[in-house]
Amino acid sequence: MNEATFLIKDVRARMVDVPLARPIVTASGTIPSAPLLLIDLETSWGVTGRSYIFGYTPVTLRPMLELITNLAELLRGKTVSPVERMREFENTFRLLGRQGLLGMVISGLDMAIWDALACAYELSLAQLLGGQDIPIPAYDSYGIIDPKRYGPELERSLKQGFRAIKIKVGGGDLKNDRETVAAVRDIVGRDTRLMLDYNQSLTVPEAVRRINCLAEHDLQWVEEPVPAEDLIGHAAIRNACTVPIQTGENWWFPEDISRAISARSSDFAMLDIMKIGGVTGWLRAAGQAEGASMPVSSHIFVEASAHVLAVTPTAHFLEHLDKARAILGDPIKVEDGMVRPRGPGLGINWDESAIARYSL
Protein backbone atom coordinates (compact mmCIF):
# COMPACT_ATOMS: atom_id res chain seq x y z
CA MET A 1 0.00 0.00 0.00
CA ASN A 2 1.18 3.50 -0.81
CA GLU A 3 0.39 5.62 2.25
CA ALA A 4 0.86 8.80 0.19
CA THR A 5 -2.39 7.94 -1.60
CA PHE A 6 -4.30 7.29 1.64
CA LEU A 7 -6.10 10.63 1.91
CA ILE A 8 -8.96 12.14 3.87
CA LYS A 9 -11.86 12.76 1.48
CA ASP A 10 -14.43 14.22 3.83
CA VAL A 11 -15.69 14.40 7.39
CA ARG A 12 -19.32 14.39 8.46
CA ALA A 13 -20.96 14.37 11.85
CA ARG A 14 -24.41 13.61 13.26
CA MET A 15 -26.10 14.54 16.52
CA VAL A 16 -27.93 12.05 18.72
CA ASP A 17 -29.28 12.08 22.25
CA VAL A 18 -29.03 8.54 23.59
CA PRO A 19 -30.98 7.16 26.58
CA LEU A 20 -28.94 5.84 29.47
CA ALA A 21 -29.67 2.61 31.30
CA ARG A 22 -29.32 4.58 34.52
CA PRO A 23 -29.20 8.42 34.60
CA ILE A 24 -25.97 9.80 36.04
CA VAL A 25 -26.69 11.72 39.23
CA THR A 26 -23.77 13.84 40.46
CA ALA A 27 -23.16 16.46 43.12
CA SER A 28 -23.06 18.99 40.27
CA GLY A 29 -26.32 17.94 38.60
CA THR A 30 -27.99 15.06 36.77
CA ILE A 31 -27.15 13.79 33.27
CA PRO A 32 -30.39 12.10 32.09
CA SER A 33 -29.13 11.05 28.65
CA ALA A 34 -25.98 10.99 26.54
CA PRO A 35 -25.77 13.75 23.90
CA LEU A 36 -23.25 12.40 21.38
CA LEU A 37 -21.68 13.66 18.18
CA LEU A 38 -20.95 10.79 15.80
CA ILE A 39 -18.00 11.31 13.44
CA ASP A 40 -17.44 9.57 10.09
CA LEU A 41 -14.13 10.28 8.33
CA GLU A 42 -14.17 9.10 4.72
CA THR A 43 -10.92 8.21 2.96
CA SER A 44 -9.63 7.67 -0.57
CA TRP A 45 -9.19 3.95 0.10
CA GLY A 46 -12.89 3.51 0.82
CA VAL A 47 -12.24 3.04 4.54
CA THR A 48 -14.30 5.09 6.99
CA GLY A 49 -12.89 6.07 10.38
CA ARG A 50 -15.45 6.39 13.18
CA SER A 51 -15.49 7.93 16.62
CA TYR A 52 -17.89 9.78 18.91
CA ILE A 53 -17.65 12.57 21.44
CA PHE A 54 -19.82 13.26 24.48
CA GLY A 55 -21.31 16.73 24.79
CA TYR A 56 -22.50 16.50 28.44
CA THR A 57 -25.55 18.60 27.46
CA PRO A 58 -27.38 18.76 24.12
CA VAL A 59 -26.68 22.49 23.76
CA THR A 60 -23.03 21.73 22.91
CA LEU A 61 -23.77 19.46 19.95
CA ARG A 62 -24.63 22.00 17.27
CA PRO A 63 -21.58 24.23 17.95
CA MET A 64 -19.36 21.13 17.76
CA LEU A 65 -21.08 20.06 14.55
CA GLU A 66 -20.26 23.46 13.07
CA LEU A 67 -16.65 23.17 14.21
CA ILE A 68 -16.27 19.78 12.52
CA THR A 69 -17.81 21.14 9.32
CA ASN A 70 -15.25 23.94 9.30
CA LEU A 71 -12.30 21.75 10.30
CA ALA A 72 -13.13 19.36 7.46
CA GLU A 73 -11.77 22.08 5.15
CA LEU A 74 -8.37 21.72 6.83
CA LEU A 75 -8.40 17.93 6.47
CA ARG A 76 -9.65 17.25 2.94
CA GLY A 77 -6.88 15.98 0.71
CA LYS A 78 -4.46 15.46 3.63
CA THR A 79 -2.92 12.07 4.39
CA VAL A 80 -4.40 9.79 7.04
CA SER A 81 -1.47 10.53 9.36
CA PRO A 82 -2.78 11.27 12.86
CA VAL A 83 0.46 12.61 14.35
CA GLU A 84 0.91 15.03 11.45
CA ARG A 85 -2.71 16.13 11.58
CA MET A 86 -2.44 16.76 15.34
CA ARG A 87 0.70 18.81 14.75
CA GLU A 88 -1.28 20.84 12.21
CA PHE A 89 -4.07 21.42 14.71
CA GLU A 90 -1.54 22.53 17.33
CA ASN A 91 -0.02 25.08 14.95
CA THR A 92 -3.37 26.34 13.69
CA PHE A 93 -4.80 26.96 17.15
CA ARG A 94 -1.68 27.86 19.13
CA LEU A 95 -2.81 31.45 19.75
CA LEU A 96 -6.42 30.50 20.52
CA GLY A 97 -5.72 27.41 22.63
CA ARG A 98 -7.37 24.02 22.33
CA GLN A 99 -9.51 23.62 25.44
CA GLY A 100 -13.27 23.32 25.55
CA LEU A 101 -15.42 22.37 22.60
CA LEU A 102 -12.59 22.87 20.12
CA GLY A 103 -10.37 20.48 22.06
CA MET A 104 -13.14 17.89 22.22
CA VAL A 105 -13.67 18.08 18.45
CA ILE A 106 -9.93 17.84 17.73
CA SER A 107 -9.72 14.75 19.93
CA GLY A 108 -12.72 13.17 18.21
CA LEU A 109 -11.17 13.77 14.79
CA ASP A 110 -7.87 12.30 15.98
CA MET A 111 -9.67 9.14 17.13
CA ALA A 112 -11.44 8.83 13.77
CA ILE A 113 -8.15 9.22 11.88
CA TRP A 114 -6.50 6.51 13.98
CA ASP A 115 -9.56 4.30 13.48
CA ALA A 116 -9.32 4.68 9.69
CA LEU A 117 -5.60 3.89 9.75
CA ALA A 118 -6.06 0.72 11.80
CA CYS A 119 -9.07 -0.39 9.73
CA ALA A 120 -7.09 0.05 6.50
CA TYR A 121 -4.58 -2.53 7.75
CA GLU A 122 -7.33 -4.74 9.21
CA LEU A 123 -5.88 -4.42 12.70
CA SER A 124 -7.32 -3.36 16.01
CA LEU A 125 -5.95 -0.03 17.20
CA ALA A 126 -4.16 -1.83 20.04
CA GLN A 127 -2.40 -4.05 17.50
CA LEU A 128 -1.54 -1.12 15.23
CA LEU A 129 0.10 0.55 18.24
CA GLY A 130 2.23 -2.54 18.84
CA GLY A 131 0.15 -4.15 21.56
CA GLN A 132 -2.32 -6.99 21.86
CA ASP A 133 -6.05 -7.19 22.44
CA ILE A 134 -5.60 -8.01 26.12
CA PRO A 135 -8.45 -7.82 28.65
CA ILE A 136 -8.45 -4.66 30.78
CA PRO A 137 -9.75 -4.75 34.39
CA ALA A 138 -12.85 -2.57 34.64
CA TYR A 139 -14.92 -1.06 37.41
CA ASP A 140 -18.65 -0.46 37.15
CA SER A 141 -19.43 3.22 37.49
CA TYR A 142 -22.52 4.54 39.29
CA GLY A 143 -23.83 8.00 40.08
CA ILE A 144 -25.20 9.11 43.44
CA ILE A 145 -27.37 6.22 44.54
CA ASP A 146 -29.77 5.08 47.20
CA PRO A 147 -28.16 1.78 48.31
CA LYS A 148 -31.54 0.25 49.19
CA ARG A 149 -32.91 0.91 45.72
CA TYR A 150 -29.71 0.06 43.88
CA GLY A 151 -28.75 -2.98 45.94
CA PRO A 152 -29.91 -5.44 43.25
CA GLU A 153 -27.98 -3.55 40.55
CA LEU A 154 -24.80 -3.57 42.62
CA GLU A 155 -25.21 -7.30 43.16
CA ARG A 156 -25.71 -7.71 39.40
CA SER A 157 -22.43 -5.89 38.81
CA LEU A 158 -20.68 -8.35 41.10
CA LYS A 159 -22.24 -11.27 39.22
CA GLN A 160 -20.83 -9.81 35.97
CA GLY A 161 -17.41 -10.22 37.51
CA PHE A 162 -16.69 -6.62 38.46
CA ARG A 163 -14.20 -6.55 41.32
CA ALA A 164 -14.38 -2.78 41.65
CA ILE A 165 -17.30 -0.33 41.98
CA LYS A 166 -17.37 3.46 41.90
CA ILE A 167 -20.17 5.61 43.29
CA LYS A 168 -20.62 9.37 43.33
CA VAL A 169 -21.14 11.18 46.62
CA GLY A 170 -21.46 14.74 47.85
CA GLY A 171 -25.16 15.24 47.17
CA GLY A 172 -25.81 15.78 50.87
CA ASP A 173 -23.90 16.25 54.11
CA LEU A 174 -21.18 14.08 55.60
CA LYS A 175 -23.72 12.00 57.49
CA ASN A 176 -25.40 11.10 54.21
CA ASP A 177 -22.04 10.22 52.63
CA ARG A 178 -21.12 7.98 55.58
CA GLU A 179 -24.43 6.14 55.51
CA THR A 180 -24.26 5.63 51.74
CA VAL A 181 -20.67 4.44 51.66
CA ALA A 182 -21.18 2.09 54.63
CA ALA A 183 -24.28 0.56 53.00
CA VAL A 184 -22.55 0.09 49.64
CA ARG A 185 -19.52 -1.45 51.34
CA ASP A 186 -21.82 -3.93 53.09
CA ILE A 187 -23.41 -4.88 49.75
CA VAL A 188 -20.21 -5.29 47.72
CA GLY A 189 -18.12 -6.81 50.51
CA ARG A 190 -14.56 -6.22 51.58
CA ASP A 191 -13.02 -8.04 48.62
CA THR A 192 -14.39 -5.48 46.14
CA ARG A 193 -12.48 -2.27 45.56
CA LEU A 194 -14.60 0.80 46.22
CA MET A 195 -14.00 4.25 44.71
CA LEU A 196 -15.76 7.56 45.42
CA ASP A 197 -16.24 10.59 43.17
CA TYR A 198 -17.12 14.03 44.55
CA ASN A 199 -17.31 15.68 41.12
CA GLN A 200 -15.44 18.81 42.23
CA SER A 201 -18.10 19.75 44.81
CA LEU A 202 -16.10 20.44 48.00
CA THR A 203 -13.69 22.98 49.45
CA VAL A 204 -10.25 21.81 50.54
CA PRO A 205 -11.02 21.80 54.31
CA GLU A 206 -14.36 20.03 53.77
CA ALA A 207 -12.73 17.48 51.48
CA VAL A 208 -10.10 16.67 54.10
CA ARG A 209 -12.79 16.33 56.78
CA ARG A 210 -15.01 14.04 54.73
CA ILE A 211 -12.29 11.88 53.23
CA ASN A 212 -10.66 11.23 56.60
CA CYS A 213 -14.06 10.26 58.05
CA LEU A 214 -14.71 7.85 55.16
CA ALA A 215 -11.23 6.28 55.16
CA GLU A 216 -12.37 3.44 57.44
CA HIS A 217 -14.24 1.92 54.47
CA ASP A 218 -11.01 0.94 52.70
CA LEU A 219 -11.32 3.19 49.66
CA GLN A 220 -9.30 2.65 46.49
CA TRP A 221 -9.43 6.37 45.72
CA VAL A 222 -11.45 9.57 46.08
CA GLU A 223 -11.90 11.40 42.81
CA GLU A 224 -11.90 15.17 42.16
CA PRO A 225 -12.95 16.34 45.63
CA VAL A 226 -12.34 20.00 44.63
CA PRO A 227 -12.44 21.88 41.29
CA ALA A 228 -10.34 20.09 38.70
CA GLU A 229 -8.13 23.11 37.98
CA ASP A 230 -7.18 23.47 41.66
CA LEU A 231 -3.93 21.51 41.53
CA ILE A 232 -2.63 23.09 44.73
CA GLY A 233 -5.83 22.17 46.55
CA HIS A 234 -5.65 18.57 45.38
CA ALA A 235 -2.02 18.40 46.52
CA ALA A 236 -3.00 19.73 49.95
CA ILE A 237 -5.75 17.11 50.28
CA ARG A 238 -3.29 14.41 49.22
CA ASN A 239 -0.91 15.46 51.97
CA ALA A 240 -3.65 15.54 54.61
CA CYS A 241 -5.35 12.23 53.84
CA THR A 242 -4.39 8.57 53.77
CA VAL A 243 -6.86 7.73 50.99
CA PRO A 244 -5.32 8.09 47.50
CA ILE A 245 -6.56 10.97 45.35
CA GLN A 246 -7.61 10.49 41.73
CA THR A 247 -7.84 13.31 39.17
CA GLY A 248 -7.29 13.77 35.47
CA GLU A 249 -10.59 13.46 33.61
CA ASN A 250 -10.52 17.23 33.05
CA TRP A 251 -6.89 17.54 32.02
CA TRP A 252 -6.66 19.17 28.59
CA PHE A 253 -4.02 17.66 26.32
CA PRO A 254 -0.69 16.28 27.58
CA GLU A 255 0.44 19.67 28.91
CA ASP A 256 -2.03 19.38 31.79
CA ILE A 257 -0.66 16.08 33.04
CA SER A 258 2.77 17.74 33.12
CA ARG A 259 1.36 20.46 35.38
CA ALA A 260 -0.40 17.92 37.61
CA ILE A 261 2.75 15.83 38.02
CA SER A 262 4.78 18.94 38.88
CA ALA A 263 2.17 19.97 41.48
CA ARG A 264 2.03 16.44 42.96
CA SER A 265 -1.74 16.82 42.87
CA SER A 266 -2.77 13.20 42.33
CA ASP A 267 -1.79 9.65 43.17
CA PHE A 268 -3.34 8.36 39.94
CA ALA A 269 -4.10 9.65 36.45
CA MET A 270 -7.58 9.34 34.98
CA LEU A 271 -7.32 10.27 31.30
CA ASP A 272 -10.32 11.26 29.22
CA ILE A 273 -9.45 10.46 25.60
CA MET A 274 -11.78 13.26 24.41
CA LYS A 275 -9.93 15.91 26.45
CA ILE A 276 -6.36 14.61 26.54
CA GLY A 277 -6.02 14.89 22.75
CA GLY A 278 -7.44 11.68 21.35
CA VAL A 279 -5.17 8.70 20.79
CA THR A 280 -2.19 10.92 19.95
CA GLY A 281 -2.56 12.94 23.14
CA TRP A 282 -3.18 9.83 25.24
CA LEU A 283 0.08 8.22 24.09
CA ARG A 284 2.05 11.33 25.04
CA ALA A 285 0.32 11.56 28.41
CA ALA A 286 0.82 7.84 29.12
CA GLY A 287 4.55 8.25 28.63
CA GLN A 288 4.61 10.99 31.24
CA ALA A 289 2.54 8.87 33.62
CA GLU A 290 5.02 6.03 33.24
CA GLY A 291 7.90 8.38 34.03
CA ALA A 292 6.10 9.52 37.17
CA SER A 293 5.03 5.96 38.14
CA MET A 294 1.37 7.00 38.04
CA PRO A 295 -1.25 4.28 37.41
CA VAL A 296 -3.53 5.30 34.53
CA SER A 297 -7.28 4.74 34.36
CA SER A 298 -9.76 5.85 31.73
CA HIS A 299 -12.76 8.15 31.88
CA ILE A 300 -15.78 6.86 29.89
CA PHE A 301 -15.33 6.10 26.12
CA VAL A 302 -15.04 2.37 26.80
CA GLU A 303 -14.41 1.35 23.17
CA ALA A 304 -11.43 3.62 22.47
CA SER A 305 -10.11 3.50 26.04
CA ALA A 306 -9.73 -0.28 25.97
CA HIS A 307 -7.30 0.01 23.03
CA VAL A 308 -5.10 2.74 24.48
CA LEU A 309 -5.04 1.17 27.95
CA ALA A 310 -3.77 -2.03 26.31
CA VAL A 311 -0.58 -0.15 25.33
CA THR A 312 -0.31 2.03 28.46
CA PRO A 313 2.63 0.85 30.61
CA THR A 314 0.96 1.78 33.91
CA ALA A 315 -2.61 0.79 32.96
CA HIS A 316 -4.85 0.48 36.02
CA PHE A 317 -8.63 0.45 35.45
CA LEU A 318 -11.12 1.06 32.65
CA GLU A 319 -14.25 2.93 33.70
CA HIS A 320 -17.32 1.02 32.55
CA LEU A 321 -19.82 3.77 31.82
CA ASP A 322 -21.33 2.70 28.53
CA LYS A 323 -22.87 5.84 27.01
CA ALA A 324 -22.97 4.80 23.32
CA ARG A 325 -24.37 1.26 23.67
CA ALA A 326 -27.81 2.12 22.29
CA ILE A 327 -26.46 3.34 18.91
CA LEU A 328 -23.75 0.72 18.31
CA GLY A 329 -24.24 -2.33 16.11
CA ASP A 330 -22.01 -4.48 18.31
CA PRO A 331 -21.66 -2.94 21.79
CA ILE A 332 -18.70 -3.71 24.01
CA LYS A 333 -18.97 -6.79 26.21
CA VAL A 334 -17.89 -7.28 29.80
CA GLU A 335 -16.35 -10.67 30.53
CA ASP A 336 -15.45 -11.54 34.11
CA GLY A 337 -15.22 -7.87 35.00
CA MET A 338 -12.91 -7.08 32.10
CA VAL A 339 -13.19 -5.38 28.73
CA ARG A 340 -11.15 -6.54 25.76
CA PRO A 341 -10.34 -4.17 22.86
CA ARG A 342 -11.83 -5.28 19.55
CA GLY A 343 -11.04 -4.39 15.98
CA PRO A 344 -10.78 -3.55 13.29
CA GLY A 345 -9.78 -0.08 14.41
CA LEU A 346 -11.70 1.00 17.48
CA GLY A 347 -14.34 -1.66 16.83
CA ILE A 348 -17.10 0.93 16.38
CA ASN A 349 -20.02 0.19 14.05
CA TRP A 350 -23.17 2.28 13.97
CA ASP A 351 -26.70 0.94 14.35
CA GLU A 352 -28.31 3.18 11.75
CA SER A 353 -31.88 2.42 12.81
CA ALA A 354 -31.08 3.46 16.39
CA ILE A 355 -29.30 6.59 15.17
CA ALA A 356 -32.41 7.55 13.21
CA ARG A 357 -34.50 7.02 16.34
CA TYR A 358 -32.33 9.22 18.58
CA SER A 359 -31.26 11.77 15.97
CA LEU A 360 -31.51 15.48 16.78
Q: How far apart are CA 230 and CA 81, in angstroms?
A: 35
Query: For position 319, what pLDDT does the model report?
Result: 98
What is the helix (H) or strand (E) element at residue 177, kind and residue range?
helix 174-188
Which of 122, 156, 172 is at the close of a domain?
122
The length of the chain is 360
Q: Are residues 138 and 55 in the same domain?
A: no
Residue 341 backbone zone (phi > 0: left; psi -120 to 50: alpha; other: beta): beta
Residue 101 lies in a domain: yes
> At a CB cut-off of 8 Å and minimum separation 6, what does 206 contact?
none
Q: Are residues 104 and 141 in the same domain?
A: no
Q: Are residues 46 and 167 in the same domain?
A: no
Query: For position 248, what pLDDT does the model report?
Result: 98
Residue 155 lies in a domain: yes
User: Nearest-CA neighbor of 164 among 132, 195, 196, 185?
Assistant: 195
Residue 357 lies in a domain: no
Coil, strand or helix at 268: strand
Query: For position 28, what pLDDT does the model report?
Result: 83
Which of 122, 144, 171 is at the close of a domain?
122
Residue 359 lies in a domain: no
Domain range for 207 is: 127-351
Give the end-to-end CA distance of the chain in Å, rounded to a whole number.
39
Q: Are residues 261 and 150 in the same domain?
A: yes
Q: Which residues of the chain have pLDDT under 70?
A: 1
Query: For position 21, what pLDDT does the model report?
Result: 85
Q: How far apart are CA 115 and CA 50, in angstroms?
A: 6
Residue 358 lies in a domain: no
Residue 237 lies in a domain: yes
Q: How far apart are CA 248 and CA 259, in angstroms?
A: 11
Which of 106, 122, 138 is at the close of a domain?
122
Domain CATH for 83: 3.30.390.10
Domain CATH for 219: 3.20.20.120
Which sequence positions are flagged as catalytic?
168, 299
Q: How far apart are CA 24 and CA 34, in angstroms?
A: 10
Q: How far apart are CA 124 and CA 272, in angstroms?
A: 20
User: Nearest-CA neighbor of 144 among 192, 182, 189, 198?
Assistant: 198
Q: Are residues 153 and 113 in the same domain?
A: no
Instruction: Please give the tally of structural domains in the chain.
Output: 2
From the centroid of its chain, how far is CA 32?
18
Phi, psi for residue 231 in degrees, rounded to 5? -65, -40
Query: Cβ distance 282 to 271 under 8 Å?
Result: yes
Q: Are residues 117 and 140 in the same domain?
A: no
User: b/e map of 270-286 (b: 16 or more CB within 10 Å)?
Assistant: bbbbbbbbbbbbbbbbb
Query: For position 26, what pLDDT does the model report?
Result: 92
Query: Cβ distance 110 to 86 under 8 Å?
Result: yes
